Structure formats: structure tokens, C-alpha cells
């Protein structure tokens, strides 16, 4: 039975990955680790079995014991401080909780000489501020990080390349674009919009105003359920040392996202822009090309933006 | 009186920087910090005054207290694990002792809002494996790090850009090429060659063989006394957020360096190549362009390679 070590177990993506594994109806063993308590248990799964361990990945000794004892076949490294906005407030925390935790993991795999495939999750933020003429963003473009979070991701990517190409570790890399879907924390823009919209829908005071930052920026959104399928396929079929964009290939403004949500809920909303919420050095347009992962791995997104937003709104409706 | 915080105080470059400051005959105050004990004291200086503090820059609290209490006008950040070879053996140590220590310093300067100019020392290794057609290497070329050490340096550089351009810190950046000169530790190739040559010169058994790694690689060597002058000038006149190569502009094989040393010492030496000493993914040719620092800052190297090697050989003759 294949063994998966999943870091960032209590996060949004992990839960969807477990659901995907379960849907395959093949027995597998997982060890979930997180610095927080387990956000869900495995009791409801039939094929996915395993356990949870509370681990601080910044503590190298804890990581050493973890890898040594479990000897995973796969590491799905989801642990991350993945908010760009938070990284501006706490750049050191963002950096060490992305780059250093990754380094601790791969170093122990190297030292033990484990035959273990690792998925190094990167971000579309690595492309940074780009010329519109280079869109859609493809994997050969140079990186140009313009936030502390993006710097951490590029650093992780460079380390991945060294570990894959020079030390021979079996690492496959992604540049994952903005995820959306049920269960996402409200620290991310779209989920925060959805929560606010649901608040307005149920407002007893008739409040119709929501405050947002820059909604003219264009992003490429991909449903988390499509993302985890890509992660699974890359663990099976990805090429060592290669980077794969995971994206829809379509750009949409946050303004259009808000409009779609209003249409779904059939409510009136008064959108107010707060310039204080506009981040320094934000990237105006991010749209990716998913040609490589389509051609080489056979993955493509299957869930429409409207479905993603409906499910996200439903999630907040059920979790107010 | 201007205050300089010098990290990596007990290292090779720091000592030469103090000598340069003294040569200016202007009173200044320095605070030297190092994780090792002070390698030299300030007793022999007339104009340079100050003290030493034993600090672990990986310990953020120690760094916070250090910057808060001293409030430097300049930070010359020399602390580094600067050996590429060591970085292959201990990639985590190399990474954290380059990138994380830098991050701790700049973060505290940011949080205190200090008006402090910082020199972020990078490396020619950041260019990585390059096409010969792109030589000499200039600052606009993309980085392509191929060793753990180089990854750490590129990470530091990206962080410097974020702190300079988005947070507004007054950081000037270098890409410093291979330093040579008296006092360099033997963990670096040229200094190790010099020490071995002096051993052969004085060998009572008539031993004439020295073992080396790949001596066909081409490097751009610059005397440490020229380097520290460049550091001083960049602290005075460098432009915030800009990167400056510090190099001779000339490429030379390690083989030619060995030949020059033999000529200086007028001895016979039998050079043996040990393939075990050849590092993975080494860069065959590194030659830099110093046009930018020449044009913008008025710096250029003044010490010939032969003089550097003579002084380095003399150093080992006096410190066997």
C-alpha cells in the first residue's frame, strides 16, 4: 500500500486531496502532519487510512524523526503560509514557513537516500509583475517575485531544482494559480467576498455594503478539486525536476467575480473600494498557460468558475 | 561620528575593511559582531574605534537587541557561509547562514524604521552556468544558481529588492566575484594552493606533489583590498536597490594561477588531479563586467593578480 506524507494536513487543499484519493477507491495510507491540530479525522473514509501527527516543520529534529519513521512513498508538501497579504505584514514568518520547512523535508530525504517522490508546490506569484505581451504565463518565463511570499516560493523552487538535478531527488514542481472552492479560509480574497455576500444575504439590519481592495486586478482561478487532481497526477506521471503550471488558462477581474456572486445569490450589494486594502507592488494581471500539463500529463480543469463560486457561497451559507 | 555595524567581524574581508577605514584617517565607530570570537582587536587602530560582540545572527532576539541598541548608520553584512564546496555538504547550514541571518537584520531595520544604509553582499555564483556568448557577465543577466550556496545568495538578493523597493530600506547590492589576498582561509581554492606551495617550498622530505580538483575552470579574481574599497564606495555612493558586480573583468584558469605561483616561488611542483575533488554542477567559466561600478561609482581594481598571489604566498610563509 502506497504511503503519502501530507504536510499542512489541516488546510483547505489537504481535505480535498483526501477526498480525491478516496474517490479512486484504492487503499492507501496517509500520515497527515500540521502545526495546528487535525482539522478533520479519517473516520469517514473507507479507502484512505492513516493517522495524524502534530509536527513543527521548522524543527529539524522533528522532521528528521518524522521522515525516518514513516518512510513515505510520496510527500505532498502543502504546508505553507500562502497569503501574499500576510507576507507583507510578517515577511520573516512567511519566508521561514515556506522555504525553511521545505528545506528541512528534502534534506532528510536526501540524507536517508529515500526513494520518495515529492511534490513541491509553487505559486503563480513567482511570475511577479509581467508585461501583458508575455501572457499567458508559461513555465519558461523568468521569475520576477514582487512580494515576500513570492520570494519564498522562488527560493523553494530553486532549492527544488538543486535537490532534483544535483542530488538526484525525485521532485516534481508546480506553479499553482489562485485556488478557490469550498472550505477556503477568509484570509483569501474570493472566500472573504463570498462570506461577506452571505452576510449581506442574511443581514437583519438590511446592510448592503461590502468593502474591498483593488478589484480591477485579473487572476486565473482554478477550483481546488481540480488542483488536487493535478497534484495526484503529477505525483504519478510528472517528470522529475520539471515545473507545471496549474491554472484555468482564463483571466477574470475580481469585479467580475463579485458580479457573478451577486447573480448567483440574486441580491443587491453596494461595493466600496478601500484604498488602504490595496497592497504594495501588486501584480495587475495573472493568467497562466496550462498547455504543458495538458499535453504531458493529460490534466485539464473540469469545474467552471460559476460552479466553484456556487459551492463556495454554499459553504459559507452552511458555516456562518 | 558615523557608526558601522560589521557582521562576520572575524572573517577575512572584515579585517581588510577595517584597514581601509583606518587608511582614510577619519574617526569612525564600529561594532563588530561574529558567532566566533573576535579574531583581532582594534588596539592597533587610531581612527577606527569601537567594540566587538558575540552574536548569533540566526537568533532573531539577539539581532533585534543588537540593531536597537547600536542604531548603525551603515551595516556591512559580511557574515556568510561563503564556500560553494561546503554548501554541497551542508546545504541547510549554508542556506540559513546566508539567507535567514540577512532577513533577521533587515527586518529589524524595517521594524525600527532606521535610516541605515545596508550593503547586501552577493556573489558571482548567482549567475550560475552561463553560455560563453553572454560573457562578460553583467548585472542585467538572469540569475541561474546551480549550487545551494548560489541559491541562498539569489534568495538574499530577491529579499533585498523587496526590502529596498517595497519597504523602502536603503539597501545597495553587490555580486562579488572570487576574492583573493592575504588572510584568506584555506577552504578556498587559491588560498589552499598557496598554503600547499609554501609547504612544498619548505618540505624537508623533498615532497613536490600537490593534489587539486578541476583546474581548467576559469574565474575572475579580485584582490580583497580592492573589494573592501568597493564596499566602502558603495556605502557612500551606491544607488538604493541597485546591484553592482565587483570583479577584475579578467578570466584566468586555476592552472594559470598555479603556474604564476610556481614562477613567484621559483620551485618545481608536481600537480596531481583528483577527480573526487571535482564538485557537481560546477560553472566552467565566470568572468564579470565591472563597467557599471566603474561608470557609476568610479571604482576599479588596482592590485594585479601577481601582487595578490605574492602577498598570499607571503602570508602563508609567515603563518605556516
The mean pLDDT value for B31-45 works out to 93
Chain A residues with CB-CB distance to B91 below 8 A:
103, 107, 159, 162
Alpha-carbon gap, residue A180 to B289, rounded angstroms: 47
What distance in Å separates the CA atoms of residue B204 and residue A97, rounded to the nearest whole number? 56
| Chain B nearest C-alpha distance from A89 (Å) | 10
B3-180+221-249+286-302 CATH pick, 2.40.170.20, 3.30.750.210, 3.40.50.720, 3.30.70.141: 3.40.50.720
For chain A, the average pLDDT equals 95
Domain A189-217+252-285+311-318 fold is UDP-galactose 4-epimerase; domain 1 (3.90.25)
Give pLDDT, residue A208: 92
Position B174 confidence tier, pLDDT thresholds 50, 70, 90: very high
- Specify the pairing of strand B3-7 against strand B28-34: parallel
Q: Tens digits of per-residue pLDDT, A104-150? A: 999 999 999 999 999 999 999 999 988 889 999 999 999 999 999 99
Do A66 and A107 form a contact (C-beta atoms < 8 A)? no
Determine the CATH number of domain B189-217+252-284+311-318.
3.90.25.10
The domain A3-180+222-248+286-302: what is its CATH number?
Answer: 3.40.50.720
Q: Where are the domains of chain B?
A: 3-180+221-249+286-302, 189-217+252-284+311-318
β-strand pairing of A218-219 with A252-253: antiparallel
pLDDT band at A281 (very low <50, low <70, confident <90, very high): low
pTM of the predicted protein model: 0.94
Of B41, B39, B52, B64, the C-alpha closest to B4 is: B52
Q: Residue B262: which H helix or E strand, with range? A: helix B254-265
Q: Is residue A218 scored above 60 in pLDDT? A: yes
DSSP string for B52-114: EEE--TT-HHHHHHHHHHH--SEEEE------HHHHHH-HHHHHIIIIIHHHHHHHHHHHHT-
The complex scores an ipTM of 0.92
CB contact under 8 A, B159 and A107: no
pLDDT at residue B116, rounded to an integer:
97
Please give the helix or strand (H or E) that residue B171 lies within, else none.
strand B170-176
Percent share of chain A, pLDDT over 70: 98
- Of A78-87, A165-174, A303-312, the one with minimum mean pLDDT is A78-87
> Are B146 and A158 in contact (CB < 8 Å)?
no
B166 to A91: CB separation less than 8 angstroms, yes or no: no
Q: Do A92 and B60 touch (CB under 8 A)?
A: yes
* Range with lowest mean pLDDT among A156-160, A200-204, B20-24: A200-204
- B104–A92: do the CB atoms touch at under 8 Å? yes
Rounded to a whole number of angstroms, the distance from the CA of B162 to the nearest CA of chain A is: 6
Grid cell in block for residue B47: 581612527
Cell 498557460 -> residue = A289
- Which residue carries 605561483 as its cell? B261
A148/B162 Cβ within 8 A: yes
Pick among A111, A125, A128, A158 to test the B interface (most B CBs inside 10 A): A158
Each residue of B94-127: pLDDT tens digit? 999 999 999 999 999 999 999 999 999 999 999 9
Residue A188: pLDDT band (50, 70, 90) is confident
State residue B291's pLDDT score: 98
Average pLDDT of chain B is 95
- B282-310: string of b/e by CB count within 10 Å (b at 16+)? bbebbbbbbebbeeebebebebebeebbb
- B129-156 pLDDT per residue, tens: 888 899 999 999 999 999 999 999 999 9
Q: How confident is the model at residue B30 (pLDDT cuts 50, 70, 90)?
A: very high
| Gap between the Cα atoms of A14 and A34, Å rounded | 11
Per-residue pLDDT reduced to its tens digit, B181-200: 999 998 888 999 999 999 99
Please tell me the distance in Å from B13's CA to the nearest CA on chain A: 27
The Cα A248–Cα A166 span in angstroms is 32
Tell me whether residues B281 and A166 touch, CB distance under 8 A.
Answer: yes
A160 and chain B: CB distance < 8 Å anywhere? no
Nearest CA in chain B to A110: B91
Identity of the residue in A92, A142, A162 whose CB atom sits nearest the CB atom of B147: A162
Between A283 and B175, the more confident residue is: B175
Amino acid at each position: 500500500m502506497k504511503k503519502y506524507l501530507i504536510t499542512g494536513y489541516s488546510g483547505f487543499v489537504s481535505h480535498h486531496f483526501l477526498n480525491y484519493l478516496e474517490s479512486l477507491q484504492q487503499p492507501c495510507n496517509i500520515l497527515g502532519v500540521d502545526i495546528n491540530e487535525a482539522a478533520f479525522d479519517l473516520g469517514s473514509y473507507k479507502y484512505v487510512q492513516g493517522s495524524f501527527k502534530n509536527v513543527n516543520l521548522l524543527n529539524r529534529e522533528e522532521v528528521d524523526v518524522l521522515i525516518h519513521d514513516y518512510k513515505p512513498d510520496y510527500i505532498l508538501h502543502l504546508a505553507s503560509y500562502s497569503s501574499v497579504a500576510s507576507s507583507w505584514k510578517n515577511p520573516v514568518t512567511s519566508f521561514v514557513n515556506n522555504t525553511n520547512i521545505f528545506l528541512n523535508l528534502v534534506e532528510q530525504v536526501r540524507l536517508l537516500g529515500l526513494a520518495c517522490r515529492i511534490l513541491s508546490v509553487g505559486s503563480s506569484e513567482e511570475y511577479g509583475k509581467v508585461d501583458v505581451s508575455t501572457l499567458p504565463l508559461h513555465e519558461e518565463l523568468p521569475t520576477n517575485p514582487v512580494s515576500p511570499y513570492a520570494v519564498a516560493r522562488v527560493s523553494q523552487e530553486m532549492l527544488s531544482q538543486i535537490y532534483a538535478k544535483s542530488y538526484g531527488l525525485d521532485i516534481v514542481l508546480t506553479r499553482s494559480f489562485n485556488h478557490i472552492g469550498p472550505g477556503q479560509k477568509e484570509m483569501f480574497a474570493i472566500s472573504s467576498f463570498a462570506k461577506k455576500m452571505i452576510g449581506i444575504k442574511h443581514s437583519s439590519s438590511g446592510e448592503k455594503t461590502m468593502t474591498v481592495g483593488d478589484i480591477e486586478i485579473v487572476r486565473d482561478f482554478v477550483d481546488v478539486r481540480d488542483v488536487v487532481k493535478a497534484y495526484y497526477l503529477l505525483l504519478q506521471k510528472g517528470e522529475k525536476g520539471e515545473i507545471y503550471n496549474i491554472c484555468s488558462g482564463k483571466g477574470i477581474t475580481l469585479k467580475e467575480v463579485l458580479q457573478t456572486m451577486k447573480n448567483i445569490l440574486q441580491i443587491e450589494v453596494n461595493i466600496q473600494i478601500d484604498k488602504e486594502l490595496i497592497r504594495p507592488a501588486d501584480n495587475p494581471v495573472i493568467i497562466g498557460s496550462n498547455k504543458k500539463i495538458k499535453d504531458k500529463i493529460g490534466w485539464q480543469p473540469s469545474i467552471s468558475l460559476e460552479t466553484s463560486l456556487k459551492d463556495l457561497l454554499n459553504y459559507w451559507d452552511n458555516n456562518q
